[in-house]
Structure 1
Amino acid sequence: MSVNPMTYEAQFFGFTPQTCMLRIYIAFQDYLFEVMQAVEQVILKKLESLPGCDISPVQIRKCTEQFLCIMKGRFDNLFGKMEKLFLQMILHIPPNILLPEDKSQEMHPCSEEEFQLLQKEIEQLQGKYKAELCTKQALLAELEEQKITQAKLRQTLALFDELENIGRDHGTSDFRESLVFLAQNSRKLQNIRDNVEMEGKKLKIS
């Protein structure tokens, strides 16, 4: 089989010419094997009807296989010529033929330098796109963090509102003053606790 990739032909036909020829080869080869099996069965039936025939089925099979090898050799030789004809003439697209989707290249040709510049421009645009994509992902992550922070802030404000309502229910008009008063009392209690702990340690030592 041919090793030429024939990519342009594959683009036009929708399949590689080599694959097409391989399938034809396999189909013909399978048909040849089936024909030889049918011929062998006919020969065996004819021999059964002949009286005193000393030819065994094993001998018939051996002769059939030998004949099959000869036929396969002839077939491979003919198929090689047919493959060459198909790949060089029938399934071959001449160099001066362009596919419809490649007509734009003929109408707007570009030099090697222009092509390299376009390649560099494409790479730059891809780099900018990736950078913008990373920036977008970072902004989305920051936005998500802001949403979480806002939710926590709303919970804190709701807690303060609830404490202020409780203070009003118990006769405290200003929640901030109550909070300062609680903080001062908390510090006093902490100082008293520290003094008690110090006195306890002194007593243990004595």
Structure 2
Amino acid sequence: MSVDPMTYEAQFFGFTPQTCMLRIYIAFQDYLFEVMQAVEQVILKKLEGIPDCEISPVQTRKCTEKFLCFMKGRFDNLFGKMEQLFLQLILRIPPNILLPEDKCQMHPCSMEEFQLLQKEIEELQEKYKAELCTKQALLAELEEQKVVQAKLKQTLTLFDELENVGRDHGTSDFRESLVSLVQNSRKLQNITDSVEKESKKLKLS
């Protein structure tokens, strides 16, 4: 069914076109079921008159239901086309048609009023474009924050795993050990730099 509310058509007809089409669909579907039931009864009576008939009522019902599903599929396909025709052409009020009760709301405007309205529309369009750009920028920033949060979560998970490993090997506080390790690394780097400088001096001399 159509998702267009078609409020103007509902105002004119007194009912929504979708409701009308739904009632037609239900009526046709009920009629199809009634016809198939009548056909099934006729088939069963015909089979009763055939001596030594091997076709049971259960088999007849399965065949009837299978044929009903086939007919319903064809009916739904045809009804979809009919619904599209009705909702787009027959039950649709053209955009250039105004209902009698709405004509009294129309009033001519001067050229100045028209220009003011046009200017206001342009300003609103510019504001909309600016808000749309701002929204896109915020969405992009949000995606970047999600990526950073995911990396931060991975880092925290890694630290937790390293801390658990440290505890398993007798280290009480992994963070203190990490700070100490960084400090010792810096000292070792300073010593290495000093040795390299002395070595260069000795080579030069």
TM-score, length-scaled by structure 2: 0.53
Distance 1:100 1:77 in 2: 37
Deviations 1:67-115 (A, max 9, x none): 00000000000000000000000000000000000002223568797xx
- 1:1-206 equivalence runs, <5 A: 1-107=1-107
Runs of 4+ in 1 over 4 A off after TM superposition: 108-113
Distance 1:15 1:52 in 2: 57
CA offset at residue 8 of structure 1?
0.2
Distance 1:84 1:21 in 2: 10
SS of aligned partner of 1:105: coil
Distance 1:80 1:108 in 2: 43
SS of aligned partner of 1:50: coil
Distance 2:68 2:106 in 1: 52
Give the aligned CA root-mean-square deviation in angstroms: 1.9
Moved more, 32-41 or 96-105: 96-105
Distance 1:89 1:106 in 2: 26
* Structure with bigger gyration radius: 1
Deviations 1:26-71 (A, max 9, x none): 0000000000000000000000001110100000000000000000
Distance 1:108 1:17 in 2: 33
TM-score, length-scaled by structure 1: 0.53
- What are the ranges of 5 or more consecutive residues in structure 2 without an aligned counterpart? 118-205
Distance 1:16 1:58 in 2: 43
- When the two structures are aligned, how many residues end up with a matched partner? 114
Structure 2 residue identity aligned to 1:17:
P
Distance 1:17 1:108 in 2: 33
SS of aligned partner of 1:98: coil
Structure 2 residue identity aligned to 1:66:
K
Distance 1:31 1:108 in 2: 53
Distance 1:94 1:12 in 2: 12
Distance 1:68 1:108 in 2: 59
Distance 1:99 1:105 in 2: 11
